[in-house]
Amino acid sequence: MIRAIALVFVGGAAGAVIRELLMLGVPTARDGFVWSIFVGNVVAAFVLGLVNGLNSRQAIQADTNLFLGTGLTGGLSTFSSLAYATFVLLSTSELRASVGVVYASANLVVGFVLVMAGLKIGESLGAKNNQA
């Protein structure tokens, strides 16, 4: 149990640091679209799908799943920042409100598509790994 908590803790810390680096390095668009949060969320969605796909084929160890799937992706993605950025966009102006709708929708749709893609790739890689 302590090992699992430590893996999630270290993975989460790494994901949070990566997210902060994204927030410092990726500028927000002039129209208010917060690219840093979007990139963090959709990359985390893909990695989570990939890790779960690999895990479903038993191609990775449980520790790897905890570190990457729970820790890293949990620290990298941020629903609270997504919700806050969307709120700010929706409450600023009509133009920013339309950007807010696109922003929230894009996070959900692209994130969903990338989770599915990650799952398929992970399952495929895991199946190849099991055949070898």
The ranges assigned to domains in the chain are 2-124
Q: What is d(CA 102, CA 90) in angstroms, rounded to the nearest whole number? A: 10
Is it the case that residue 64 has pLDDT exceeding 80? yes
How much is the pLDDT for 132?
A: 62
Distance CA 100, CA 97 (A): 5
Q: For residue range 122-131, list pLDDT tens digits in order.
A: 999 998 877 7
For the stretch 72-129, pLDDT in tens is: 999 999 999 999 999 999 998 888 999 999 999 999 999 999 999 999 999 999 988 7
Q: Is 29's pLDDT higher than 90?
A: yes
CA distance 132 to 85: 46
In this prediction the pTM is: 0.93
